[in-house]
Amino acid sequence: MALPPEQQKSPSGMTGQAAPSQETSMASMIIQRLNEVNTRIRLAEERLEQNKERLRVFDDQMLSIRENINGDITKINAQIEDMRKSIKNIDDTIHHIIKELELTAKKQELTVIEKYVDMMDPTRYVTKEELQRLLKNA
């Protein structure tokens, strides 16, 4: 740390006024250091502003992405709900078909009916007109 000019020692070792060239070089050195510090501060402030801007952009992007994701989630939830309704409708339809199938004749029942029809053989029945013709001819 530099001493005030009145406390600085002269080359002879005594305290007193420093030489003018020494004061000028000391002042220019102080000014140079202040300029360096100012430059560093300015650079640090610029970096800080750049980082703030990057953070703003990043934040905006994150908000946009979040909105998109929320919209996608809403769409997916709606699709899931539609699928649940469709599955419920399919389930109801299957139950209805099962009930209808329970009311239909089974193969065994159809076989019994077929045997009765074969025994009666309606193709061998005589119509009224055929009977009258047979009676006239007889």
Predicted pLDDT at 137 = 87
Task: Flag whether the pTM goes above 0.75.
Answer: no
Beta pairing partners, 15: 9
Q: Which residue has the tokens 């009145």?
A: 6
Q: What are the pLDDT digits (tens) for 94-111? A: 999 999 988 888 889 889
Q: Which are the contacts of 7, defined by CB distance < 8 A and separation ≥ 6?
A: 15
d(CA 108, CA 121): 20
